[in-house]
C-alpha cells in the first residue's frame, strides 16, 4: 500500500506545473521582447483600420481592440520557428496632428524564435497608407 501511495505521489508531482520554471520562461520571454515606434501624419481612424486589416490578413487572433484607448492586442499562433507571439500595439495622438504607433512583441514561450512583427506590421501599414497610383 505504501508503494502505491508513493508512486501516486510521484505521478501527481510530475503533472503539477513548476512555478519556478514558469516564472523563468516568462522572464526569458520578456527579455526577448522587441519594440519599435513610428509617427504617421494621417488620421487616427485610417491608421487604426489599416492595422486591423493587416492583422486579419496575417491571420492573427484579435484579443482586444479599444479605439478609445488606442490599444490593440493580437496573438499569432505557432509556426515552424515559434510557439506563438503576443503583439501589443498602442496608438497615441501627437501635438502635430499625427499618430504615434508603437508595436511590442514577445514570444509566448521563451525558446521560440519569433518573427519580427515590428518590421512586418510597419511594412503593411506603410503599404496601405501609400498613395494609390492611377493607371
**What global pTM score does this model have?**
0.66
| Per-residue pLDDT at 4 | 45
Alpha-carbon gap, residue 1 to 3, rounded angstroms: 5
Per-residue pLDDT tens over the stretch 26-56: 666 555 678 899 999 999 999 999 999 999 9
Domains observed in the chain:
33-129 (3.30.530.50)
Residues 86/108, Cβ–Cβ less than 8 Å: yes
C-alpha cell at 87: 503583439
Cα separation, 111 vs 15, whole angstroms: 21
pLDDT tens for each residue of 58-80: 999 999 999 999 999 999 888 77
Least confident of 20-34, 45-59, 78-92, 115-129: 20-34
Give the pLDDT band of residue 117 (cuts 50, 70, 90).
Answer: confident
The DSSP call for residue 106 is E
Amino acid at each position: 500500500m505504501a508503494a502505491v501511495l508513493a508512486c501516486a505521489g510521484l505521478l501527481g508531482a510530475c503533472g503539477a506545473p513548476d512555478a519556478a520554471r514558469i516564472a523563468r520562461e516568462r522572464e526569458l520571454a520578456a527579455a526577448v521582447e522587441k519594440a519599435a515606434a513610428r509617427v504617421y501624419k494621417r488620421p487616427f481612424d485610417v491608421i487604426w483600420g489599416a492595422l486591423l486589416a493587416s492583422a486579419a490578413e496575417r491571420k492573427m487572433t484579435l484579443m482586444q481592440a479599444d479605439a478609445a484607448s488606442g490599444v490593440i492586442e493580437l496573438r499569432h499562433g505557432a509556426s515552424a520557428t515559434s510557439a506563438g507571439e503576443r503583439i501589443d500595439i498602442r496608438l497615441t495622438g501627437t501635438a502635430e496632428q499625427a499618430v504615434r504607433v508603437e508595436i511590442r512583441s514577445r514570444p509566448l514561450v521563451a525558446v521560440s524564435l519569433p518573427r519580427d512583427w515590428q518590421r512586418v506590421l510597419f511594412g503593411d501599414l506603410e503599404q496601405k497608407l501609400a498613395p494609390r497610383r492611377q493607371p
